[in-house]
């Protein structure tokens, strides 16, 4: 994640990668490693990893991907480094979506009927978005005829579309939980808010690069790294300061008349109907 773009997008020709990182990049990696360690320690120390296992797995995978990739840049053949990079990216895409799903489960898990429907709707919407992306990618200008470069371009477009999809799913989550006054643990809401802000930043940066062109690439790389470091710092602070009460959602209060309490009561009625229909 700290490495915003693969060096293979620069049309590297050498058999080995041999990339030399600047001092700023080394400092970025050092800060990121410390934040990884800080967040993982907080998850283990407070036993939070059992409550948010996908976040724990996501941090471990991203940390290992970055560390192994950085030290492999100097000696690996380019094909091996390229394969490792994109395999890591693919796994991170999957974990990112699972993290969004786990956030939705925290909000709707108590409402069994609604959660069962949501559990099928979100992957279906993701497939629709990916199908649209596949159809739209054929109209993307400037695609390279070389397979290696085309793969880099394709994964970059995939990353942009997944970031947009992720932001939309999180926006929907906040709309549902806020509009219907769904009880939510404070820590889960804060972690989701940081994830949503980072997703919006990625979408904004990707859109700017698309409009401005590749001269925006250096700014895109450093801004993307800064945004990810901001996400890691926010998560580290939240996880380290978390108290047991932050993991407890308040009990729902249903009001027969007026305001969001009435909407929450209606949501509960819909959930009970779906539970009977789906027999869950």
| Burial (CB count <10 Å: 0-12, 13-18, 19+), residue 61 | middle
User: Alpha carbon of 235 to those of 15, 18, 40, 43, 82: distances in Å?
Assistant: 39, 33, 10, 10, 29
Residue 3: predicted pLDDT: 47
267 domain-assigned: no
Task: Show the domain range for 37.
Answer: 7-253
Residue 78 pLDDT greater than 80, yes or no: no
Are the C-beta atoms of residues 255 and 261 closer than 8 Å to each other?
A: yes
DSSP 107: H
Question: Would residue 270 count as lying in a domain?
Answer: no
- 260 in a structural domain: no
Which pLDDT belongs to residue 195?
A: 93
pLDDT at 87: 80
Nearest to 97 by CA among 130, 129, 128, 126: 126
Q: Going by C-beta distance under 8 Å and a sequence separation of 6 or more, which residues neighbour residue 76? A: 16, 17, 84
| Token reading at 208 | 């700017």
3-state helix, strand, coil in the chain (%, to 5): 80, 0, 20
Domain count for the chain, please give it: 1
Contact status, residue 102 vs residue 52, Cβ threshold 8 Å: yes
State phi, psi for 20 to the nearest 5 degrees.
-105, 125
Is 235 within a domain?
A: yes
- Residue linked to tokens 């939705």: 104
Query: What phi and psi values does residue 16 have, to the nearest 5 degrees?
Result: -105, 155
Backbone dihedral angles phi then psi of residue 153, each to the nearest 5 degrees? -65, -40
* Distance between CA atoms of residues 254 and 260, nearest Å: 9
pLDDT at 215: 80
Examine residue 137 and state whether it is found in any structural domain, yes or no: yes
Question: Greater confidence, 151 or 59?
Answer: 59
| Least-confidence region, from 53-67, 120-134, 162-176 | 120-134
Q: What are phi and psi of 75, to 5 degrees?
A: -130, -15
pLDDT band at 9 (very low <50, low <70, confident <90, very high): very low
Higher pLDDT residue, 265 or 247?
247
Q: What is the pLDDT of residue 147?
A: 46
Task: Give the least confident one: 71-80, 84-93, 211-220, 251-260.
Answer: 251-260
140-198 pLDDT, tens digit each: 544 444 444 555 556 666 667 788 888 889 999 998 888 777 788 889 999 999 999 99
User: Which of 39-43, 137-141, 219-223, 244-248 ranks highest by mean pLDDT?
Assistant: 39-43
Q: What is the pTM of this model?
A: 0.77
194 belongs to a structural domain: yes
The pLDDT value recorded for residue 149 is 52
Residue 111 counted as domain residue: yes
Residue with the bigger pLDDT between 115 and 185: it is 185
The residue-averaged pLDDT of 110-127 equals 80
Q: How far apart are CA 206 and CA 161, in angstroms?
A: 10
Structure-model confidence comparison of residues 57 and 259, the more confident one: 57
Q: Kindly indicate the confidence band of residue 268, based on its pLDDT and cuts at 50, 70 and 90.
A: low
Identity of the highest mean pLDDT range in 67-71, 195-199, 204-208, 213-217: 195-199
With respect to residue 101, please indicate whether it lies within any of the assigned structural domains.
yes
CATH number at residue 219: 1.20.1070
Q: Supply the pLDDT for residue 70.
A: 73
């Amino acid at each position: 994640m700290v490495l915003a773009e693969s060096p293979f997008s620069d049309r590297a020709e050498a058999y080995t990668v041999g990339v030399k990182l600047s001092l700023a990049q080394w400092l970025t990696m050092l800060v990121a490693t410390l934040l990884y360690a800080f967040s993982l320690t907080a998850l283990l120390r407070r036993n939070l990893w059992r409550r948010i296992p996908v976040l724990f797995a996501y941090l471990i995978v991203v940390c290992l991907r970055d560390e192994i990739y950085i030290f492999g840049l100097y000696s690996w053949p380019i094909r091996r480094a390229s394969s490792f990079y994109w395999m890591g990216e693919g796994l991170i895409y999957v974990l990112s979506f699972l993290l969004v799903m786990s956030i939705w489960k925290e909000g709707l898990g108590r409402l069994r009927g609604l959660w069962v429907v949501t559990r099928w709707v979100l992957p279906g919407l993701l497939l629709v978005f990916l199908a649209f992306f596949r159809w739209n990618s054929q109209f993307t200008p400037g695609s390279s005829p070389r397979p290696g470069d085309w793969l880099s371009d394709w994964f970059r477009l995939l990353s942009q579309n997944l970031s947009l999809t992720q932001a939309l799913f999180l926006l929907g989550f906040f709309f549902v939980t806020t509009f219907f006054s769904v009880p939510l643990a404070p820590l889960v809401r804060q972690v989701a808010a940081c994830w949503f802000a980072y997703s919006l930043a990625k979408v904004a940066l990707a859109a700017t690069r698309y409009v401005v062109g590749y001269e925006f690439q250096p700014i895109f790389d450093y801004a993307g790294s800064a945004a990810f470091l901001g996400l890691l710092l926010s998560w580290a602070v939240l996880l380290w300061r978390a108290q047991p009460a932050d993991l407890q959602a308040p009990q729902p209060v249903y009001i027969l008349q007026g305001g969001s309490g009435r909407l929450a009561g209606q949501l509960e009625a819909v959930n009970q109907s779906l539970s009977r229909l789906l027999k869950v």
